[in-house]
Amino acid sequence: MAKHFATTHRSIRQRFPESSLAEIKHAIMVSEQSHRGEIRVAIEAALQPSQLWQDMSPRERALELFASMHVWDTVDNSGVLIYILLADRSIEIVADRGVCPATGNATWRDIADAMRKHFASGSYTEGTLAGVEAVSRELAALVPENRFKVDELPDDVTLL
């Protein structure tokens, strides 16, 4: 619990400076040209005391954000959230019903594990970019682009 009080927004900025956030946003924008999916990235320093009191897991928080950020609200049900919780060193990937059954949870777990390896060496931007690229490859195989694709969700990284 103490790690949640010690991890602040400053921790996010140290690991993800503005230039990194811009690079991740650009990677999302470019990747979404190859498929009809929508990728969102949310980075949270720590859970709130009320969430800790409720014993909320990183997965539960990711599911909550998946809903509140409307990642589920896409035409093809092809939204994917990459959620990073710095205090717990946790990465959760939540995929909508249009893509999750076809890929299975192991795919998303493998992507998160690869990201974690980058993070362990201090390469937060590279790890996140690798995650966006890997998710994009999965989406391109499942929901390939078409010329009528509209960007349904913002590409900005959400900082919490």
pLDDT of residue 4: 78
Q: Which is it for strands 158-159 and 79-85: parallel, antiparallel or unpaired?
A: unpaired
Tens-digit pLDDT profile for residues 53-83:
999 999 999 999 999 999 999 988 999 999 9
Task: Give the pLDDT score at 153.
Answer: 93
Helices (H) and strands (E) in the chain, counts: 8, 4
Into how many domains does the chain fold? 1
> Sorting pLDDT into bands at 50, 70 and 90, what band is 45?
very high
Mean of per-residue pLDDT scores for the chain: 93
Domain that holds residue 77: 2-159
* Model pLDDT, residue 78: 93
Contact 43, 60 (CB under 8 A): no
Q: What is the structure's pLDDT at 18?
A: 98
Average pLDDT over residues 16-43: 97
pLDDT digits (tens, 9 = 90+) for 84-110: 999 999 999 999 998 877 677 899 999
- The CATH number given to whatever domain includes residue 140 is 3.10.310.50
User: Looking at the predicted structure, is the pLDDT value of residue 3 above 70?
Assistant: yes
Are 24 and 129 in contact by the 8 Å Cβ rule? The answer is yes
pTM for this one? 0.95
Give the Å distances, CA to CA, from 41 to 49, 54, 142, 147, 154. 23, 24, 20, 25, 10
Would you state the pLDDT for residue 150? Answer: 79
